[in-house]
Amino acid sequence: MASVLNNIFGGKSSDAPEPVQAGGDPDFADFSQAADPSPRPISPAPASSDPFGAAPAARPYTAWYRVHERHSLSEFKAEGVILSVITVFLLLHLFGARLNRNKARQWIRAHSAALSFEFASVGFAGVPAAAADKKGDELLQALADSHVQQGDNLLKENSLFEFATYATGRTNVAFVDVKLTLLKRFNPLVVLIETAMAFFFDSGEQLQDSVEAVLYPFDGKEALTVPGLPGAAELRGNKEGKSAYDGFVWAIVHKERMKQVRDDRYDVSLTVTKDNPKLPNWLTVMTESAEITEALLTPELIKAAELTGDQFEYLIVTDQPIEKPKTLDETTPRKRIFLKYRLPSNNEYTNLVPIFKYFLRLPDRLVQGAHWRPEVLRKVKAAREATISQIKKVDEEKLAEERALERERAKKAKRDQELKALDAKAQKKYLEREREKEMKKSMKKQTMRA
Provide the residue ranges of all domains of the chain, joining segments of one domain with +: 82-379, 380-449
pLDDT of residue 241: 56
At residue 20, does pLDDT exceed 50? no
At residue 360, does pLDDT exceed 80? yes
Q: Residue 329 — pLDDT band, cuts 50, 70, 90?
A: confident
Which residue blocks in 119-168 are alpha helix, DSSP H? 136-150
Amino acid type, 267? D
Q: Cβ of 310: how many Cβ atoms within 10 Å?
A: 10
pLDDT of residue 28: 53
**Looking at residues 254-263, what average pLDDT do you find?**
91
β-strand 173-181 against 250-254: which pairing, if any? unpaired
At residue 183, does pLDDT exceed 60? yes
> Tens digits of per-residue pLDDT, 41-84?
555 555 545 555 555 555 565 656 667 777 788 888 899 899 99
pLDDT of residue 447: 75
Regarding predicted confidence, which is higher, 189 or 229?
189
Torsion angles phi and psi, residue 423, rounded to 5? -85, -175
Q: Cβ of 382: how many Cβ atoms within 10 Å?
A: 11
What's CA 444's distance to the chain center, in Å? 61
At residue 225, does pLDDT exceed 70? no
At residue 17, does pLDDT exceed 60? no
* Sequential DSSP letters for 407-439: HHHHHHHHHHHHHHTS-HHHHHHHHHHHHHHHH
Q: Are 107 and 343 in contact (CB under 8 A)?
A: yes
**Looking at residues 354-383, what average pLDDT do you find?**
92
In angstroms, rounded to a whole number, what is the distance separating the alpha carbons of residues 193 and 184? 11
In angstroms, rounded to a whole number, what is the distance separating the alpha carbons of residues 157 and 155? 7
Looking at every residue in the chain, the average pLDDT score rounds to 82
pLDDT of residue 230: 47
**Looking at residues 398-421, what average pLDDT do you find?**
87
Alpha-carbon dihedral of residues 320, 326, 331, 334, nearest 10 degrees?
-50
In angstroms, rounded to a whole number, what is the distance separating the alpha carbons of residues 102 and 113? 18
At residue 368, does pLDDT exceed 70? yes
pLDDT of residue 435: 87
Q: Are 247 and 385 in contact (CB under 8 A)?
A: no
pLDDT of residue 14: 47
pTM of the model: 0.74
